[in-house]
Structure 1
Amino acid sequence: MTASTAAELTTVELTTVELFKDAMKFSAGHFTIFSEDRRERMHGHNFAVQISITGEPDDNGMMGDYGQFKRIAIALCDSLDEWFLLPGRSPHLTLREDGEYVVAEFAGRAIPFLRSDVQVLPVRNITVEELARYLCDRLIDEGKVLAVAPIHRLTVKVSSGPGQQAVAGWRRPV
């Protein structure tokens, strides 16, 4: 390796902060769609959310204000709390508005929901996998987390109960 090549290689000090506070949770109803004619019955979960943020510590040895990270994550969880969640991008479910109702059409049957009880998410299914990806995307797309610190990676875990979770991640393009 030449001196100029060695000079081009730089290292960046990275630290990971993991957040899993009691308030980082939401309760929501849903059903999982397995195929064009098979789905679960409606039920609910108490979903728990964990977030790992990897970035560069500042001159003070901190990556950012943990309080801001927590407030952002808790607000995102609160926005999903006590809703019935429906997937807006499912290939097997059609949604339509009908007055004060959102009607989900699945396998030739209409399932009406009060509009005031439903959130339609831009996901293919209401699963821990899709919820982890949705939350990760929201944290990045809204830019709030990126504004707090120079973040290199973000990981979001969503669990629907002990021993059952999914992980989605984002990495800053190089």
Structure 2
Amino acid sequence: MTFPFSFGLPMSRTTTIELHKEEMKFSAGHFTIFSATHRENLHGHNFTVYVALTGAVVENGLLSDYGPLKQAVISRCRAWNETFLLPGRSPYLRLEQDVRGDYLARFHDEELRFLARDVTVLPVENVTLEELARVFGEELVADGAVLKSSGITRVVVKCASGPGQWSSWEWENHG
């Protein structure tokens, strides 16, 4: 059957799958570092994660099997849930571990101590929404090979610390 709007030509269909599942959230503590001498107090948020995958719909009516990508986000949320997030690459915060593996965080003239079991050290300069969205996104994209083979051409990852406060990270396949 040919629909009137196709004019008998094969149609290229692009779609976006948006993932914002109940399991794509985590509760974590952190503090933002503003300068070498100024930081927020320790506090926490109920973070949520949203992922949008864009690409061509193939013959079977699917964009791709996005299940593994969804599970990767859910797994990361579970790993970070109920932990205190510390930046592993901050120029202003020095992290040390004692013989038990517990953390001593040195900031300006302060020493903050954390039990190892309570801490997740992230590959970020600062624990911000911008950096959290980037870490989620870069993990999903990795080298881009999986997404390229699945036909996904664009990924948007958003991370929120509460209603009305989001940060976005984007990747697009230009090949």
Contact 1:94 1:106 in 2 (8 A): yes
> Size of the alignment, in residue pairs?
164
Map 1:118-157 to 2 at 5 A.
118-141=119-142, 146=147, 149-157=150-158
Give the corresponding residue for 1:45: 45
Whole-Å separation in 2 of the counterparts to 1:145 and 1:33: 35
Q: Return the offset for 1:142.
A: 7.5
Whole-Å separation in 2 of the counterparts to 1:27 and 1:145: 29
- Give deviations 1:69-123, integer Å, cap 9, x for gaps: 4323211211211111000111111111112211110012211111111111000
RMSD value, Cα: 2.0
Q: 1:133 corresponds to which letter in structure 2?
A: R
Gaps of 5+ in 1: 1-10
Give the corresponding residue for 2:110: 109
Instruction: Give the share of equivalent positions with the same residue, in percent.
Output: 48
Whole-Å separation in 2 of the counterparts to 1:64 and 1:48: 24
Whole-Å separation in 1 of the counterparts to 2:28 and 2:147: 27
- Give deviations 1:117-166, integer Å, cap 9, x for gaps: 11110001111111001110111117796288221111100000111110
Give the corresponding residue for 2:97: 97
Contact 1:68 1:148 in 2 (8 A): no
Gaps of 5+ in 2: 1-10
Whole-Å separation in 1 of the counterparts to 2:69 and 2:19: 8
Contact 1:69 1:145 in 2 (8 A): no
Give the corresponding residue for 1:6: none
Give the corresponding residue for 1:167: 168
Comparing 137-146 with 71-80, which one deviates more in the overlay?
Answer: 137-146
Structure 1 segments of 4+ aligned residues over 4 angstroms from their partners: 142-145
Contact 2:148 2:173 in 1 (8 A): no
Comparing 126-135 with 67-76, which one deviates more in the overlay?
Answer: 67-76
Whole-Å separation in 1 of the counterparts to 2:69 and 2:135: 17
Whole-Å separation in 1 of the counterparts to 2:103 and 2:134: 24
Whole-Å separation in 1 of the counterparts to 2:74 and 2:14: 24
Q: Aligned with 1:152: secondary structure?
A: strand
Contact 2:55 2:154 in 1 (8 A): yes
Q: 2:169 corresponds to which letter in structure 1?
A: A
